[in-house]
Structures are given as structure tokens and as C-alpha cells.
């Protein structure tokens, strides 16, 4: 099997933080001996892509940059030292790669915490381009029966919510609150939580109630017009939810979660508000034995497990396919809080 590979490709580039996003012709990279070349067919658009472009994460990213870190496509070239891949295989490019596989964190399955990682779309060119190289050991294998457009968002958004749900320690039959439940992450989290046997309280703007209920939320709470969120949720859940995952990009719901979570409950922070410093009363935190965690994407195994839910049709990704040129418009919808689906660049458009 031979594949014709062009010398140049389309890529979405910005030269300055919050500067123009331009589609340009750039060279197609050649894979190193331990890398594969993936023809990117779909790339999810993540909220963190917006933060990188705005310059909110300057300490973690570089500029100029090709953004994106949720890429799914086909293997078109293989480095001479790569094993386990064949031309035509479906491959995923996730956010964090190049981990050492030999440190304390890698050995324990906490690969995103490795000190050696590099992040596509942050400190190296990402998936908003038609071709990308990645180490063979880092690329995610995607089942041939999996919808590639749906697979792309799972490589960051899907595994992020799946891992956060695991970190919440909420058991089947117990209650979990999801803030920002109607957004891109929340829409996936509702489905994963249901698939894992959890009972879901969705919290977001009232305009997203029907959307959240249709995805499987048992209850909905208006995050903006409910007079006393803490007492309302405590009463609704008869003592507080067993866990809370904060996807909302705002400080207030992060602080409120510590107040209404059940005794011995767990609060997981995922959303990244700008200047997100939170404060809370330490007395109930200590006396109620509350656990607060941060959670960031997941391991290779977490990616495989999260993808399996999609392959089996248990989790359905609410997709909006867009052109590469449409990414700026999607960013604006994110800023305006009007995202209810996972926007995915379709490179065939």
C-alpha cells in the first residue's frame, strides 16, 4: 500500500496572542524513526484552544502556533523503528505526549503528570493542520468501526470528563452535580455519568435545560436564577451530592460546590476560569471531610476506555462539523457561552 503525500498542507496559524487566525500553506512534516505521519481528517475544537489563542496560558504555550489537540485520521507514513502500526490504521492525536514512560508518575499510570510531556496545540504545532507527526507509542489506536468525527473530541474532552468522573469516586446509584453541564464537556459528562450508573444533576443556564434532560440528566438547576444554589441543591439531593465536577469557567460555582457537596464528598475542578483563585471556609471543609481534586485529561488506558463507550454507541458525541476557516467563529460562540455541542473541523469541507 502506498500513499501519495503532498509537500505542503493547510494549517490554521496565529502569530500573536489574540491575533488573526489565518489559514496558510505550511510544509508537511516527515516522521522521525519512532514516529508516524497521520493525515488529520477531523480535529475537535476545545475550550483550551481558545484560552491558548487568547494568551491566557502563555506560561504553557508558544507563539506563533498551530492550535488544536483532538486529531483523528489515518496513518500514511511510518518511521523505520515503529512497531504496531500499519498504513491505513486509524490513529488519534491527543493533547499530552512525549512522556518518558519511566518516571514515578508514568509508572503509576499518571502519564499527564510526567515532567517530560509536550502538548500539541500548546508548546508544539497541533491538529489544526492536515498532516501531523506523533510518536508511535503516543498515538491512540482507534477502532475501524468508530466514527472518526466522533472520536476526535474523545481524545481530550471525552477522556477529560471520563477521568474526572472516575476521580469523583461517585458509585453507581449515587448523585453527581455537573456545573456547566450544557457545554461541550458537560454534554459528554452527562452521558458518561449515566453509562457509569450515576444520577446526574445538571447545572447551567436555563436555556440548556431541555438539552441536558435529553442527554439523560435526572435534575436540572438554573445556575443563574436560582436564589440560593447551596440550599436548593442540598435539599434536592437530600443532604448534598456525593460528588461535584466543575466544568463551568467561573469562580463562583467552584466555591459553591465546596458548600453543598455531601459530607465525605468529592469536588473535582476541571474548568479553567481566567485568574481562577478560589476561597472557601476551611471549617466545614475539615469537619465534613470533603475532598477537593484537580483533574487533567487521562492516561493511555483512560483514552482507550473512554473511546470504547463511543465505539459501542453508549456515548453519542453531539457534533457540529465546521471548516478550518470557521474556527474563529466557534471561538466567539465559546466566549458568548452558546456552545451546546462539540465543534469539529472536517478537513474535507
Q: Tell me the C-alpha distance between 212 and 340, whole Å.
A: 9
Is 229:254 a contact under the CB 8 Å cutoff?
no
Q: Grid coordinates standing for 115?
A: 515532567
Collapse the DSSP code of 330 into the 3-class scheme (helix H, G, I; strand E, B; otherwise coil) and give the result. helix
- Stretch 193-221: mean pLDDT, rounded? 96
Q: Which tens digit of pLDDT belongs to each residue from 248-260?
A: 988 999 999 999 9
Q: How many CB atoms neighbour CB 160 within 10 A? A: 28
Q: Tell me the C-alpha distance between 225 and 208, whole Å.
A: 13
Q: How many CB atoms neighbour CB 333 within 10 A? A: 16
**Mean pLDDT, the chain, integer:** 95
Is 243:174 a contact under the CB 8 Å cutoff?
yes
Where do the H-state alpha helices sit in 12-147?
47-54, 104-107
Collapse the DSSP code of 89 into the 3-class scheme (helix H, G, I; strand E, B; otherwise coil) and give the result. coil
Q: Grid coordinates standing for 230?
A: 447551596
Is 259:234 a contact under the CB 8 Å cutoff?
no
- Give 99: exposed, middle or buried? Use CB within 10 Å, 0-12, 13-18, 19+: buried
- pLDDT above 80: residue 2: no
Percent of the chain with pLDDT over 70: 99
Is 174:150 a contact under the CB 8 Å cutoff?
no
Is 125:132 a contact under the CB 8 Å cutoff?
yes
Per-residue confidence (pLDDT) for residue 1, from 0 to 100 = 67
Q: Which of 65, 5, 61 has its CA nearest to residue 29?
A: 5
Using DSSP bridges, classify how beta strands 175-179 and 243-246 pair: parallel, antiparallel or unpaired.
parallel
Q: Grid coordinates standing for 97?
A: 505526549
- Give 54: exposed, middle or buried? Use CB within 10 Å, 0-12, 13-18, 19+: middle
Q: Tell me the C-alpha distance between 307 and 146, whole Å.
A: 8
Q: Grid coordinates standing for 234?
A: 442540598
Is 105:113 a contact under the CB 8 Å cutoff?
yes
| Length of the chain, in residues | 349
Q: Which tens digit of pLDDT belongs to each residue from 50-101?
A: 999 999 889 999 999 999 999 999 999 999 999 999 999 999 999 999 999 9
Q: Torsion-angle region of residue 35: left (phi > 0), alpha (psi -120 to 50) or beta?
A: beta
Domains of the chain listed by start with CATH number: 8-156+298-346 (3.90.180.10), 159-294 (3.40.50.720)
Q: Tell me the C-alpha distance between 65 and 325, whole Å.
A: 16
Q: How many CB atoms neighbour CB 258 within 10 A? A: 21
| Sequence-ordered list of residues with C-beta below 8 angstroms from that of 41, at least 6 positions apart, any chain | 72, 73, 74, 148, 346, 347, 348
CA 54 remoteness from chain centre: 18
- Find the range with the poorest average confidence among 22-31, 157-166, 279-288, 332-341: 332-341
Collapse the DSSP code of 258 into the 3-class scheme (helix H, G, I; strand E, B; otherwise coil) and give the result. helix
- Stretch 324-329: mean pLDDT, rounded? 98
Q: Grid coordinates standing for 66?
A: 498551530
User: Across the strands, what pairs with 96?
Assistant: 119
- pLDDT level of residue 237 (50, 70, 90 thresholds): very high
For residue 135, give the DSSP letter: E
Per-residue confidence (pLDDT) for residue 202, from 0 to 100 = 98
Please calculate the CA angle 263-269-219 and round it to the nearest 5 degrees: 65
- pLDDT above 90: residue 151: yes
- pLDDT above 80: residue 124: yes
Q: Tell me the C-alpha distance between 51 and 58, whole Å.
A: 9
Amino acid at each position: 500500500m502506498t500513499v501519495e503525500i503532498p509537500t505542503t498542507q493547510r494549517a490554521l496559524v496565529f502569530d500573536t496572542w489574540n491575533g488573526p487566525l489565518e489559514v496558510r500553506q505550511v510544509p508537511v512534516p516527515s516522521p522521525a524513526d519512532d514516529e508516524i505521519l497521520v493525515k488529520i481528517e477531523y480535529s475537535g475544537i476545545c475550550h483550551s484552544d481558545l484560552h491558548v489563542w487568547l494568551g491566557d496560558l502563555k506560561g504553557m504555550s508558544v507563539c506563533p502556533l498551530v492550535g488544536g489537540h483532538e486529531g483523528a485520521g489515518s496513518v500514511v507514513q511510518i518511521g523505520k523503528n515503529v512497531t504496531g502500526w500499519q498504513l491505513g490504521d486509524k490513529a488519534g492525536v491527543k493533547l499530552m505526549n512525549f512522556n518518558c514512560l519511566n518516571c514515578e508518575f508514568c509508572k503509576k499510570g499518571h502519564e499527564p503528570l510526567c515532567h517530560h510531556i509536550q502538548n500539541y496545540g500548546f508548546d508544539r504545532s497541533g491538529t489544526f493542520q492536515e498532516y501531523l507527526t506523533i510518536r508511535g507509542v503516543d498515538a491512540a489506536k482507534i477502532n475501524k468501526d468508530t466514527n472518526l468525527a466522533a472520536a476526535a473530541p474523545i481524545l481530550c474532552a471525552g477522556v477529560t470528563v471520563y477521568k474526572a468522573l472516575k476521580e469523583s469516586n461517585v458509585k453507581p446509584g449515587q448523585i453527581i452535580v455537573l456545573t456547566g453541564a450544557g457545554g461541550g464537556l458537560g454534554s459528554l459528562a452527562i452521558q458518561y455519568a449515566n453509562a457509569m450508573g450515576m444520577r446526574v444533576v445538571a447545572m447551567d443556564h436555563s436555556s440548556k435545560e431541555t438539552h441536558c434532560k435529553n442527554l439523560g440528566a435526572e435534575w436540572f438547576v438554573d445556575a443563574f436564577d436560582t436564589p440560593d444554589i447551596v440550599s436548593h441543591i442540598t435539599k434536592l439531593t437530600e443532604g448534598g451530592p456525593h460528588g461535584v465536577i466543575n466544568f463551568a469557567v467561573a469562580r463562583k460555582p467552584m466555591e459553591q460546590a465546596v458548600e453543598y457537596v455531601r459530607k465525605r464528598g468529592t469536588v473535582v475542578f476541571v474548568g479553567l476560569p481566567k485568574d481562577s483563585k478560589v476561597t472557601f471556609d476551611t471549617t466545614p471543609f475539615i469537619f465534613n471531610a470533603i475532598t477537593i481534586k484537580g483533574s487533567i485529561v487521562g492516561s493511555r488506558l483512560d483514552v482507550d476506555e473512554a473511546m470504547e463507550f463511543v465505539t459501542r454507541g453508549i456515548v453519542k458525541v453531539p457534533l457540529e462539523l465546521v471548516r478550518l476557516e470557521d474556527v474563529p467563529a466557534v471561538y466567539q460562540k465559546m466566549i458568548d457561552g452558546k456552545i451546546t455541542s462539540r465543534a469539529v473541523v472536517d478537513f474535507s469541507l
